[in-house]
Amino acid sequence: MPDYWVYIMSSRSRTVYTGVTNDLERRVYEHKHGLVPGVTSKYRITRLVYFEQTSSIRSAIEREKQIKGWRRSKKVALIESANPTWEDLSEGWFEKAGPSLRSG
């Protein structure tokens, strides 16, 4: 059964972006390298600060919409419940080689 991910990326100034993907490593790589046009590249949102895994695309999309509808304070509380120092959870993922950019 495929995995789906709801994730929150952040800039150094803690501007946040919430997204959903079926390949977390590939998607984070795209954000980190400015391959995603829009908000994340404009505001340099490159740090993975939170993620959840689900087995259903429907539940992942529902959760993404739920989080996007929250006030900033609730998003911050969610991040800090799992990652109180806002560390980049993808630190070290791409040092040696890029992700497999397989489609899917």
- pLDDT tens digits along 16-51: 999 999 999 999 999 999 998 899 999 999 999 999
State the Cα–Cα distance between residues 94 and 32, nearest whole angstrom.
Answer: 10
Homologous superfamily in CATH for domain 4-82: GIY-YIG endonuclease (3.40.1440.10)
Of 6-15, 19-28, 55-64, 90-99, where does mean pLDDT reach its minimum? 90-99
**Residue 46, token pair as written in the block:** 């490159």
Nearest by Cα to 94 from 12, 11, 32, 23: 32
Domain coordinates of the chain in residue numbers?
4-82
Contact 46, 32 (CB under 8 A): yes
* Residue 104's pLDDT band (cuts 50, 70, 90): very low
